[in-house]
Amino acid sequence: MAEGVTAHRTSVLFLMLMLLMAVSVSSIANAQDADDSEGPGITWELPGNHMLYMKGTEQQPFLDRNWTTNTGEPLGKAEFTKLGSATNPNLLEIQSAPLAESFRFEGNITVRLFASLESTNDGCRLTNVLPGVAGAETAFQVSLSLGSTVVLDGAETNSLPMEESYLSAHEFTVRATDVNVSLGPGDLVSMDIDVQHDCIQTGVLWWGTYDATSGIILDGDVIDPQLEYAIDSNRMARVEFTPISPWGPDDFPRQVVEIVGPMDWDEMFHGFGKEDQRLEHFESPHGTRIGEANRTIITWSSEKPLEPGRYMVDACFTVTDQDPGE
């Protein structure tokens, strides 16, 4: 049997699946890798990057998976001064919620921070006579741990003289490459942030808005969703989705699932199909059951039997950390 076709990303939802199936009086073939368009198969398109965002207040900060839609002045901030950074450089200590699932991460990690002056002015730039010696630049030192594994240990971001306000905050980053670490349930992602601020103007680290997405970018596989289908003897279709994420099933807050067909294999692309071919449209789950490893499985069932032919299960699932504006 040949493989399935490649799906294309939509502009609204961020996790997408296309499952191709043939309905007949005989048994249904198992899904295979997707590369061809001549037979049953399955294709996932997953986000390439995953995020943990800084949230909360300076006194009670935390790392969270949800990309906020708030705009305006950031809800979270930590101010720093030249004297303060010299005497007590530690700005924040922040952790994620405990992991709900085990997972192995292989890839790169970037810490991205947004900071600015309290108000726009060129005082730091004008007094940055000799960067590093008689300068007025700002930089952050980041320590990052995944469980018990230290990924960054006081690693320094880029350094620059700030001159903007929060309306056009400066971006500071530091990167860990070729990370390979295993985490288990209950493990935490922990981050310490120190600051070196050599300008007399007060600086501010910002987080918690749509534009000020200070946090951690995981460039690698993080989620492992599963989707299966079954056709019973009456040709009724049952679709099951297992939302697997290190932070639990709440990482997948919304979904759209459709059964489309009958149609030829080479017509089976995400979003393709005439109106009268869209036989089933599911959003709210019809039910749930508990599966392997005590995971919650979301289920849907067709209302009518499918006629013999070739069908596509076309599905999109929202992931909480992806940009809601895309």
Per-residue pLDDT tens over the stretch 218-228? 999 999 999 89
Per-residue pLDDT tens over the stretch 161-207? 999 999 999 999 999 999 999 999 999 999 999 999 999 999 999 99
Tokens at residue 34, please?
């997707």
Of residues 255, 308, 312, 254, the one with CA closest to residue 279:
312
- In Å, how far are 65, 100, 218, 224 from 182, measured between CA atoms? 19, 13, 14, 15
Instruction: Give mean pLDDT, residues 286-303.
Output: 94
For the chain, what are the domain ranges? 15-47+223-317, 49-220
Instruction: Give mean pLDDT, residues 291-306.
Output: 93
C-alpha–C-alpha distance, residues 152 and 181, integer Å: 13
**pLDDT value at 91 more than 80:** yes
236: amino acid identity, one letter: M
Tokens at residue 54, please?
């800084």
User: Interior CA angle at 157 toward 156 and 163, to 5°?
Assistant: 130
- In Å, how far are 16, 82, 165, 198, 317 from 43, measured between CA atoms? 8, 53, 44, 52, 14
Strand order in the sheet with 189-197: 90-95, 189-197, 138-146, 149-156
Instruction: Give mean pLDDT, residues 258-263.
Output: 90
Q: Which residue has the higher pLDDT, 294 or 2?
A: 294
Residue corresponding to tokens 């947004």 = 114
pLDDT of residue 246: 96
Per-residue pLDDT tens over the stretch 125-139? 888 776 655 678 999
Report whether 67 contacts 324 (CB < 8 A). Answer: yes
Of residues 188, 193, 189, the one with CA closest to residue 206:
193
Report whether 16 contacts 7 (CB < 8 A). Answer: yes
C-alpha–C-alpha distance, residues 271 and 110, integer Å: 33
164: amino acid identity, one letter: E
Tokens at residue 159, please?
């350094």
Q: Which residue has the higher pLDDT, 109 or 271?
A: 109
Per-residue pLDDT tens over the stretch 29-80? 233 333 444 557 778 888 989 999 999 999 999 999 998 888 888 889 999 9
Q: Which residue has the higher pLDDT, 149 or 132?
A: 149
186 contacts: CB under 8 Å, gap ≥ 6: 98, 99
Give the range among 133-137, 211-215, 283-287 with minimum mean pLDDT. Answer: 133-137
Superfamily of domain 49-220: Galactose-binding domain-like (2.60.120.260)
CA–chain centroid gap for 296, Å, is 20
Beta strands in the chain (DSSP E): 15-23, 41-45, 49-56, 61-64, 76-80, 90-95, 103-117, 138-146, 149-156, 170-183, 189-197, 203-207, 215-220, 226-231, 237-242, 255-260, 278-282, 287-290, 296-301, 309-317
pLDDT of residue 211: 83
Give SS3 for 84: helix
Give the range among 128-132, 213-217, 287-291 with minimum mean pLDDT. Answer: 128-132
